Amino acid sequence: MALGYVLDEIFVEHRAPSGHPERPARAEAVRDALVAAGIASRGKHIPTRLAKDDELAAVHDPTYLAQLAKVVPGRSGWLDADTYFSPGTWDAARTAAGSVSQLAIDVVDGALTEGIAVVRPPGHHATRDTAMGFCLFNNVAVAAAAARAKGAARVAIVDWDVHHGNGTQDIFWDDPDVLYTSVHQFPYYPGTGAPSEIGGAKAIGGTVNVGLPSGATDADYAAVFDHVFLPKLAAFKPDLVLVSAGFDAFIHDPLAGMRVTIAGFAGMARRLRGLAEAQCGGRIVAVLEGGYDLTGLAGGMTEVLTAFAGPPPSPEPTAPLPAAGGVRAAIDATLGAHAAAGVPIPPAAP
């Protein structure tokens, strides 16, 4: 089995207005870095495809899809103050959702073991019926539903983008078979992702939010993974792990205030690869979301490739919990909210 990857020039055809941070150079920077890292010799290129109507309708409202189909194809404009479209957007967006879904299906089927998708526009802010935050279709959500339809009983989504993935949370809020976990800057756009947001009545504990203060570091993210995410993921026992891999927590990103380095993204990727090896036969797919510093994007996704394409990594030493401060308070708030609801997150492995 092998790693599969999605890289294609169609994602550059989603053309940004002058000065917009979600620009074609993002995909080009990641593409060039992965090619330089030898991705062609380390994995299998997966042909792109458009998302099928039923795949989109599995997570998006039909009225919303019909409205997009009426407004977007072949035109330029805005869906909200942040979310633009250009003549190439419709095909790029449908191809992003379809190609990520195909990658997830191939991993579930066993044709591939891991996957990396360099797609745009991003997806995790798109709700069932609203485009926002640069996103039209929720690529990861469409892929999770496709994987479920293909036989994956439980899908886990880990979102390390600096912005909370409100759309993904919205779509799976009441679904006990999809676990959504997010670590993000809080409070920050879009304003969601409080620790008290733990899932709907049918899926209490199926949403895990850790909202960190501005300035969080590699060590802080490692503590979130080791003391919240990995124990929760292990207890959930997913059949597939999907990663909303945004790189806007990078120390030099212009749209956020975190201090994560390339090494920090490498540590998160290794942890999730190790979890996937232990829980679901290594089945893991990383999908590009945000990230607006080209160095952070290129370096971060190259580290994901390194973590996924090589032999299973050795276990990471458990990161210590901060003794006090805003990060410790954020972790404690998440753990406390789940415990109070009767769905405690297990303690970290020794």
Domain CATH code at residue 241: 3.40.800.20
Look at residue 346 and tell me if it is in a domain: no
Whole-number Cα distances in Å, 74 to 20, 90, 297, 345: 20, 7, 29, 48
Look at residue 262 and tell me if it is in a domain: yes
Pairing between strand 3-6 and 284-288?
A: unpaired
**Contact indicator for 209, 195 with CB cutoff of 8 Å:** yes
Pairing between strand 77-78 and 84-85?
A: antiparallel
Q: Which of 14, 124, 125, 227 is catalytic?
A: 125
Q: Tens digits of per-residue pLDDT, 210-228?
A: 999 999 999 999 999 999 9
Helices (H), the chain: 24-36, 39-42, 53-57, 62-71, 89-109, 139-149, 166-171, 218-224, 230-236, 262-280, 294-309, 326-340
Query: Is residue 125 annotated as a catalytic residue, yes or no?
Result: yes
pLDDT at 97: 98
Look at residue 348 and tell me if it is in a domain: no
pLDDT at 285: 98
Look at residue 321 and tell me if it is in a domain: yes
**Contact indicator for 219, 227 with CB cutoff of 8 Å:** no
Domain of residue 176 covers: 3-340
Low-confidence spans in the chain with pLDDT less than 50: none
Q: Provide the number of structural domains found in the chain.
A: 1
Look at residue 28 and tell me if it is in a domain: yes
Look at residue 350 and tell me if it is in a domain: no
Look at residue 126 and tell me if it is in a domain: yes
pLDDT at 1: 60
Chain-centre distance for alpha carbon 338: 22
Look at residue 345 and tell me if it is in a domain: no
